[in-house]
Amino acid sequence: MLSKLSILVGILAGIIVGVAGNARAQEVTLKLHHLLPPVAHAHKNMLVPWAERLEKGSNGRIKVEIYPAMQLGGRPPQLADQARDGIVDISWTLPGYTPGRFISTEVFELPFMHASTVATTMAINDFVERHSEDFKDYKIIAMHVHAGQAFHSHEPIRTVSDLKGTKIRTPTRTGAWLIEAMGATPIGAPVPKIPEMLSKKIVDSVMIPFEITLPLKVDEMVDYHTILDDPVFNRINTSTFMIVMNRGRYDSLPADLRQVIDDHSGMHIARWLGEIWEAAELPGLKKAAASGEVIKMSSGEVAKLRAMVEQPVIDRWIADVAKRGIDGSALVSEARALIQKYSK
């Protein structure tokens, strides 16, 4: 009798250990890498809350370790490769940091395309569900945009002529084309280089939203900030961002954990992303107004600017992507229709 009891206890103990071991095996820790400091809006108001949602949704089985400010090494333009190659599990970065690689989503960065942060963020997440060819090595967690580019300058920018002959920082090739169409010189550089470029006057102005001016302390380096006096387009364009996960790492997870990630990806979180990026703009705008001058370029000058840059840059992009067999005109029409759809 005692022998049988001992055997039964042993079997039960083995089952318990096996179940516990299996549960532990299905717990995962994901490394997320990005370029901005922990004080930045992207880190504290987007990536940290998203990681917390994943942990809660998985009952603690998914943990996300976030490494800001390139703590795991490399340069910002390498973030996309780090996620693709499995150096990290997830990266938050700009597709535009790797020019010519993520082609289709550039359409949302074209001049006078972006209007509302919420609408454009929802539109781009809808868009990539059908146009994911450039992302075959990734699980797309989400795409988003910021509130749009304002000019932050050493000298006031009130007219189109104030832009001509100046040097302007931009992160992307479409941004460079836009600056060239304005008669200015584009200087490409990632966000962390902005303080040095402004303090040393390597550039005359930078095109970024007000949100990022706070952690970079841009208001301490320039006195003028220009937006557009237009009822729909108060920013000339925006930048697209992506949260992407290594495809192999995602595929290796148990089905239920993949479902948790799916439930916190794409259109499931698009509106939330748009809302937090829209809300993030106000503190930086208030600080800029308090320490310098926020200029609204007049509607007449905006009309001149639009005539100068909109169609020429769009035509240049359509011609460029046609070389890759992409119907850019169709993508422009689709992007506009989606933004309009989510603007209602």
pLDDT tens-digit readout, 85-100: 999 999 999 999 999 8
Domain coordinates of the chain in residue numbers? 27-147+240-279, 150-237+281-343
| Confidence grade of residue 3 (pLDDT, cut at 50, 70, 90) | low
Can you tell me the distance from the alpha carbon of 175 to that of 237, in angstroms, rounded to the nearest whole number? 8
Q: Residue 224: name the closest of 159, 153, 298 by CA.
A: 153
**Residue 16 confidence (pLDDT):** 47
- Please say whether the beta carbons of 240 and 95 come within 8 A: yes
Q: What is the pTM of this model?
A: 0.92
Position 258 pLDDT exceeds 50? yes
pLDDT tens-digit readout, 85-139: 999 999 999 999 999 899 999 999 999 999 899 999 999 999 999 999 999 999 9
Domain made up of 27-147+240-279: CATH architecture: 3-Layer(aba) Sandwich (3.40)
Provide the percentage of residues in the chain whose pLDDT is more than 90.
91
Which DSSP symbol is given to 183?
T
Domain made up of 150-237+281-343: CATH architecture: 3-Layer(aba) Sandwich (3.40)
pLDDT tens-digit readout, 275-329: 999 999 999 999 999 999 999 999 999 999 999 999 999 999 999 999 999 999 9
**Residue 4 confidence (pLDDT):** 52
Position 238 pLDDT exceeds 90? yes
Can you tell me the distance from the alpha carbon of 229 to that of 201, in angstroms, rounded to the nearest whole number? 27
Same fold flag, 27-147+240-279 and 150-237+281-343 = yes
**Residue 190 confidence (pLDDT):** 93
Q: What does the mean pLDDT of the chain come to?
A: 94
Can you tell me the distance from the alpha carbon of 171 to that of 242, in angstroms, rounded to the nearest whole number? 14
Provide the percentage of residues in the chain whose pLDDT is more than 70.
93
What token pair was written down for 183? 């008669």
**Residue 276 confidence (pLDDT):** 98
Judging by DSSP bridges, how do beta strands 28-33 and 62-67 pair with one another? parallel
Q: Residue 264: name the closest of 116, 108, 90, 142 by CA.
A: 142
Can you tell me the distance from the alpha carbon of 196 to that of 38, in angstroms, rounded to the nearest whole number? 19
What token pair was written down for 210? 């007000």
**Residue 21 confidence (pLDDT):** 45
25 or 60, which is more confident: 60
pLDDT tens-digit readout, 37-53: 999 999 999 999 999 99
Position 24 pLDDT exceeds 90? no
